[in-house]
Amino acid sequence: MKETAKARLGLIASMVIFGSIGIFRRYIPLPSGMIGACRGLMGALFLFVVSRLRGQKMNVQGLRPSLLKLIFSGIAMGFNWILLFEAYRYTSVATATLCYYMAPVFVILASPFLLKERLTPGKLLCVLAAVAGVALVSGVGEGGSLTGVLLGLGAAVLYATVVLMNKTLSGVSTEDRTMLQLASAGLVLVPYSLLAENLSGVDMTGMSLAMLLVVGAVHTGLAYWLYFGSMKALSGQTVALYSYIDPIVAILLSALILGEALKPLGIVGAVLVLGATLVSERV
């Protein structure tokens, strides 16, 4: 019972941390690619140190058969971060997060083709409800940013790709998988950022540097460690249910700290998106 309670606290903590990342991104003046590179490398380093302190070693032999899939999924993870961080720049944190939360819906749509899973009428209804919810949340018809919405949806597609690829992996521990994916994401984003982004004139203050370190060590390394550590002691349904803390925290912080409260139609849309993804786990 104590282990289960500890796992629940770890999962809640990880979801709260994930939900606050959009606030931190607003105050880091670096381009999104460089933030993603730092996030991936610092997160991988954090997990490596934690695993060594716990006496765990990477199972190199077990990684070899899945190495290409892990590297590719890590690259997808890295560019998923870029799109999400860019979405935060073009629209509110709440809207970007809710668009990003379409990832489970994209997994549902792709599963019949890639995983040979049946698309039931109930799941299809959830997909339609989620799409309607995003349309309401976006506020495009009321002058909202279509660019921000599309970036958020693009990030969701890439994250769904990571989820689908992880479903095909076997014989790889969650710690080793996450460490290699984070390292791959960080390494591929370094040359991307240096070649494609303008880093001249970036003014990094002590505060913004501290926030970057928090995003790398806390929002990536610590949060993923807590998240995957809690999954071992909790059921899949419990993990899915608690994952809704992430967008709720993002919406609340967006309103309280950045003054980006959702409009009435946006609230209806948020209920549709979150409700649809929650119900889809059970039908």
DSSP 68-114: HHHHHHHHHHHHHHHHHHHHHHHS-HHHHHHHHTTHHHHHHHHHHHH
pTM of the model: 0.88
Residue 59 binned pLDDT confidence (cut-offs 50, 70, 90): confident
pLDDT of residue 40: 96
17 close to 223: Cβ distance less than 8 angstroms: yes
Q: What phi-psi label fits residue 201: left (phi over 0), alpha (psi between -120 and 50 degrees) or beta?
A: left
pLDDT of residue 146: 85
High-pLDDT (> 90) share of the chain, %: 43
Residue 140 binned pLDDT confidence (cut-offs 50, 70, 90): low
pLDDT of residue 173: 82
pLDDT of residue 212: 95
pLDDT of residue 180: 92
Residues present in the chain in total:
283
pLDDT of residue 101: 87
224 close to 50: Cβ distance less than 8 angstroms: no
Structure token pair of residue 186: 């960080």
Tell me the C-alpha distance between 13 and 218, whole Å: 11
Mean pLDDT for the stretch of residues 101-127: 86
Q: Which of 30-34, 140-144, 173-177, 249-253 has the highest mean pLDDT?
A: 30-34
Q: Which residue has the tokens 């999104």?
A: 32
Q: What is the pLDDT of residues 173-229, one digit of tens each?
A: 888 888 999 999 999 999 999 999 988 888 889 999 999 999 999 999 999 888 887
pLDDT of residue 245: 87
Q: Is residue 236 scored above 70 in pLDDT? A: no
Which ranges of the chain would DSSP assign to H, the alpha helix? 2-19, 21-26, 32-53, 60-63, 67-90, 93-100, 103-114, 121-138, 146-167, 174-196, 206-216, 223-231, 236-242, 245-258, 264-280
Q: Is residue 55 scored above 70 in pLDDT? A: yes
Residue 2 binned pLDDT confidence (cut-offs 50, 70, 90): low
Neighbour count for residue 227 (Cβ, 10 Å): 21
Q: What is each CA distance from 233 to 20, 54, 192, 198, 272, in whole angstroms?
A: 25, 18, 38, 45, 30
> Is 201 or 154 the better-scoring residue by pLDDT?
154
74 close to 247: Cβ distance less than 8 angstroms: no
Q: Helices 93-100 & 264-280, crossing angle to 10 degrees?
A: 30
98 close to 268: Cβ distance less than 8 angstroms: no
119 close to 111: Cβ distance less than 8 angstroms: yes
pLDDT of residue 144: 60
Tell me the C-alpha distance between 247 and 226, whole Å: 18
How does the average pLDDT of the chain come out, rounded?
88
- Please work out, in degrees rounded to the nearest 5, the angle formed at the alpha carbon of residue 79 by the alpha carbons of 17 and 115: 90
